[in-house]
Chains A and B, each alone.
Chain A
Amino acid sequence: MSSKITLPDEAWKTLVLTAERDGVYLEGGILKILDPGESESNITYLTSATSADKERRANRLQVTKQVQKQNRELEQSKAEIEQQNAELLQAKNEIEKKSGQLQEALEAAEKARESAEGARRDAENDLDYMQKRTQFELMGRIVRVSLFVVVGVGTITTGMYAMALFGPETNAADTTLLANTWSNMFGILLTNSFSIIGTIMGVKYATEGRSGGNQQ
């Protein structure tokens, strides 16, 4: 503990006068080390000054504690808000991530749909091709049989005519009849042959034209 300090009487008088006139007192640590001596007025002054100083400090202490408490609450609120912000940010990131995954899934589904569509088109094309092929094979068979019939009939008729012309028992009347018959028959066969070929070509071109239109 520091030793007390004493002031000259004049200084005490000035202090007491200032306190009485203006209500102004010394304050702070100096009050703890002032020795008022025996003077009643000095002791009263020091008691009043110390009391006022303590009251001010007590008030300031309460205010400071209140501010300190509010600061702590603000800091706590700030921390909570920051945590909530962090959680919101995390949720946002998760939503964005899920959204990305959903987008990828949608794109994959779209690709799968396109792939299925392509497969369906391929299948349709294959079916169309098979149908056409079957049609062409059928037409080929018809053409072959027709040509065999035409060629067979022509060959048989020609053979019979040749036998009639160059055979051992030839008769002019028979030959004339056969010649006319052969000529008519051959004309009819040729006409029918061209008719068949023309029909086949017409069917072929018509089919190609229709399939081309479908593809468009």
Chain B
Amino acid sequence: MIRSILLVDDESLFHLVFEDACSLLDIALNLRAIDSANKAEELFKEWHRDPSDRPECVFVDLNLIGSSFDGIELVRRINKVYGNGVVIGIISSSSDQMEIDKAKQVGAQFWIVKSDDIEPRLEAFRDKYDHYKDRTAPFEVYA
């Protein structure tokens, strides 16, 4: 089970869906959800100084309305500037191949397509999580 997850998504209802799905599937012990890429960057700045509360895994929505940059840019910043080893990927209703390629280039490890039936995808992700953690799993799209 993942110790802590950070979800960055501008849709509040999805926070509840994700939290309940993670709890039912025993994916995470602790889940924090925020709605903006800017807030996420601020948090990672703090965790860069004191990594004790840093999440193990980060799920980022592709389009973050109200943020000054999108999910792919957030992944890039977390990976290149603040992250240093967190498991990070995109969770989005889009499955645009161009965006998926961009996410892969900036260091995203997975891409989960949001839908009403998200539990099987999260379950598949959970089963491979250890490989993502030790960086042995290839980039994968859960659609």
- Asked if A64 and B24 sit within 8 Å, CB to CB, the answer is no
Residue of B nearest to A61 (CB): B20
Chain A 43-84 per-residue mask, 1 if CB under 8 angstroms from chain B, else 0: 000000000011001101100110111010000000000000
The reply to whether A71 and B26 form a contact with Cβ atoms under 8 Å apart is: no
Candidates A2, A65, A69, A71; contact of B29 at CB < 8 Å: A2
Judged by a CB distance under 8 angstroms, whether A204 is at the interface is no
Stretch in contact with the other chain, from B11-19, B33-41, B64-72, B77-85 = B11-19
CB nearest neighbor in B for A54? B24
Question: Contact: B23 with A29, CB < 8 Å?
Answer: yes
How many A-B contacts at CB < 8 Å in the complex? 42
B105 CB–A CB distance under 8 Å:
no
In the complex, whether A106 has a CB less than 8 A from a CB of chain B is: no
Inter-chain CA distance A2–B21, complex, in Å, is 20
* A64 touching B17, Cβ below 8 Å: yes
Q: Are A68 and B13 in contact (CB under 8 A)?
A: yes
Instruction: Let me know if A11 is at the binding interface, CB within 8 A.
Output: no
- The answer on a CB contact under 8 Å between B3 and A58 is no
What per-residue 1/0 map shows which CB atoms of B82-104 lie under 8 Å from chain A?
00000000000000000000000
A1–B16 contact, CB under 8 A? no
Q: A71: which B residues are within 8 A, CB to CB?
A: 13
Which chain A residues border B3 with CB–CB below 8 Å?
1-2
Is the pair A58, B14 in contact by a Cβ cutoff of 8 Å?
no
Q: Are B29's CB and A68's CB within 8 A? A: no
Cβ-defined contact, B16 with A60, below 8 A: yes
A57 to B1, CA, bound (A): 18
In the complex, are the beta carbons of B29 and A57 less than 8 A apart?
no
Whether a CB of chain B sits under 8 angstroms from the CB of A111 is: no
| 10 pairs from A and B in contact (CB 8 Å cutoff) | A1-B3, A29-B23, A29-B29, A32-B26, A61-B21, A64-B17, A64-B20, A68-B11, A68-B116, A71-B13
Residues of A within 8 A of B (CB): 1-2, 28-29, 32-33, 53-54, 57-58, 60-61, 64-65, 67-69, 71
A-B interface, 6 closest residue pairs, ranked by CB to CB distance from nearest: A61-B20, A57-B20, A64-B16, A68-B13, A64-B17, A1-B1
